[in-house]
Amino acid sequence: MLAFPDGFLWGAATAAHQVEGNNTTSNWWAMEHAPNSTMVEPSGDAADHLHRYPEDMRLLAEAGLNSYRFSVEWARIEPERGFVSRAMLDHYRRMIDTARENGLDPTVTLMHFTVPQWFQKDGFWRADDAVDLFSRYVETVLPILDGVRYVCTINEPNIAAMLAGGEDAANLVAFGLPNPDLGVADTLLQAHRRASEILHTVPGVQAGWTIATQAFHSTGEPGADEMLAQYGDPRDHWYLEQSAGDDFVGVQAYTRTFIGPEGPLPVSPDVETTLTGWEFFPEALELGVRSAWERSGGVPVLVTENGIATADDTRRIAYTQGALEGLHRAISDGIEVRAYQHWSALDNYEWASGFRPTFGLIGFDHETFERFPKPSLAWLGEVARRNGL
C-alpha cells in the first residue's frame, strides 16, 4: 500500500457561488444576468447547498472523508457597503460547526472569485481602498473562525488577475490564458498579506492562499524555454514565489499546457480530453506540488483542488488514482503535503461554462435537488479510511 502521512486530511471542496444558489448580491450574479452576457447560463439555485449543506457534509463524512473545504461569501456577509448581515455570519458559523460535528476538518476560503456588486462598482481591485475593504471584511469574519485550522485568504489570485485583465471568463477553459492585470496581482498580494496578519491574531489559525498551478511544458524547440518563463512567471510562478513565509500554500492542479517559442499550444487532437477541453493528465498534481514546494522555499502544501470534468465516473477514479500516485511520490521525496481535497464535492456551476462540466463526487437533480453520490465518492472515501492507495 502507498501509505500517506499520519493525520493526513482527505476531503472535497466547493465554492459558495458555485453551489449555494441565489447569490444575488455578488458581481458574478450581475454578470450572469447582464444584457448580452457571455455566460452559458446563470447560476440560479445552483445546487442549493445554502440549505442542504448538512446533508452534503453527512454524505462526505459517511463515505470516509475527514475534511471539507468551502468558502464564505463576502457578498452575502456584506451585501451593501458597510452593512453586515449577522444572520449570514451565523449561517457560516453553523457550517463550520456542522463540518466538525460530522468529523470533517473545515478549511475555509474567504474569497473564491466573487465579490459584492458594490465592491466591483466602487473600483474593484483597482480601487485605492480595495485592500482596506477586504481587510475590514476579514476582521468581520474573524469571530466565526474560532477553532478553524486552515484559512485560505484568496482563491487562485493568478486566475483572478487574469479575469481582471478584461478578458472573458470563457477564455479560462481554452488553452491560452488571458493576460493578467499586474496591478491587480500586486493588490491581491497586499490583500493576502494583510488578511494573513489579521488571521494570525486568532491562536491556531494558519493562513495561505491557493494557486492554480499550470504544469507548463516546453516543447523543447529553440526559444520555447525562454517563452515558458516569460509566459509562466506572471500566470503561475510569481504567486508560488510570493507564498514564501506563509503557513501553507494551496495547490489547485488539473492539466498541463505545452509552450512553444510563440506561446501556448492548443491541446493535441490525439489525447483524451475532459468536458472542459483539457488534456486528461493526472501527473499535473505532482508537478504542481513540486513546483509550489520549490518556488515557495519549502512552504507546506495543501492540495485544495484536483479533479476532472467528466460524465464517466470510471475516468474520474482513474484520474484521481493517477494524481494520488504522483502525490505520494512527491511526499516520498520529502515534500510536506498535509491534505488532498478533491474538486468538487458536488456537481456545480462552472462559471462561464454553466452546469455542463460535471466535476462532482456527488450529482444532483436540478429540479428536486436530490443527491446522487457517485462511485468515485465511495472510492475516495475508502482511500481516506485506509490513509493510502
If residue 260 lies in a helix (H) or strand (E), which one and from where to where?
Answer: strand 257-260
C-alpha–C-alpha distance, residues 367 and 61, integer Å: 25
Return the DSSP state at 244: T
Which amino acid, 238?
W
Among residues 32, 78, 286, 305, which one is catalytic?
305
Q: Is 305 a catalytic residue?
A: yes
Helix (H) or strand (E) holding 150: strand 150-155
Task: Please confirm, yes or no, whether 62 is among the known catalytic residues.
Answer: no
Closest by CA to 106, choosing from 155, 157, 71, 58, is 71
H or E element, residue 116: none
State how far the Cα of 289 lies from the Cα of 180, in Å rounded to an integer.
22
User: Which residue is catalytic, options 156, 279, 286, 350?
Assistant: 156
CB 72 within 8 A of CB 108: yes
Maximum CA extent, the chain: 59
For the sheet containing 216-218, what is the strand order?
A: 216-218, 257-260, 263-264
Contact call for residues 2 and 388 (beta carbons, < 8 A):
yes
Backbone dihedral angles phi then psi of residue 324, each to the nearest 5 degrees? -70, -35
- Closest alpha carbon to 340 in 69, 59, 3: 69
Distance CA 184, CA 164 (A): 7
Cis peptide bond upstream of 344, omega within 30: yes
Please give the Cα distance from 149 to 6 (Å, whole number): 17
Q: CB of 23 within 8 A of CB of 73?
A: yes
Give the residue among 257, 360, 248, 232 at the shortest CA–CA distance from 298.
248
Residues with a catalytic annotation lie at 156, 305
